[in-house]
Amino acid sequence: MKRILTMLIAAMLLSACGGLSSKEKQIVGLYYNPAVSDREPVFELNSDGSSVMRAIRPDVLTLSVKGTWHIVGDTLVIQHNLATVTAEGDTAIIGTVAPVFKAIVTDHTDYTMTLDRDGIEYEFIKRNAVAGE
């Protein structure tokens, strides 16, 4: 009986740890780089913690990888599932997909998110319709 009670309490504690922080809930959305594509988002940051990240070279290649995302401090961290990498277009130019993407969130509003990678800031336009909601 003690063992079952212990397992039940452990399961409840683990389920309570799930979900997004208040900061992550504000960042959920589809993020586009209009210079690259208005049709496909660069980032899909879903409310269930799943993600899709795309590398888009217009009319040449679109590389997509699914994963999970979260915010650590002020940093967006996306853990890629490398088994889900898909490519459309000229696959001869595909390089290595990193298992983890990290960028500092320097600003986010209801309409944009600005990320800093290696001292360069990138602004993405946010649209709120997210797959899986």
d(C-alpha 1, C-alpha 60), whole Å: 62
pLDDT digits (tens, 9 = 90+) for 84-114: 999 999 888 888 899 999 999 999 999 999 9
pLDDT digits (tens, 9 = 90+) for 4-24: 433 334 434 333 345 899 999
The sign of the CA dihedral 16, 131, 108, 49 is positive
Q: What average pLDDT does the segment 113-130 reach? A: 90
Q: Which of 29, 27, 20 is nearest to 130 (CA)?
A: 29
pTM over 0.85: no
Looking at 3.40.109.10, 2.40.128.280, 3.30.450.80, 1.10.645.10, the CATH number of the domain 20-127 comes to: 2.40.128.280
d(C-alpha 68, C-alpha 70), whole Å: 7
Cβ atoms of residues 93 and 83 within 8 Å: no
Number of residues that this document lists for the chain: 133
What angle (nearest 5°) sits at the alpha carbon of residue 33, between those of residues 93 and 20? 105
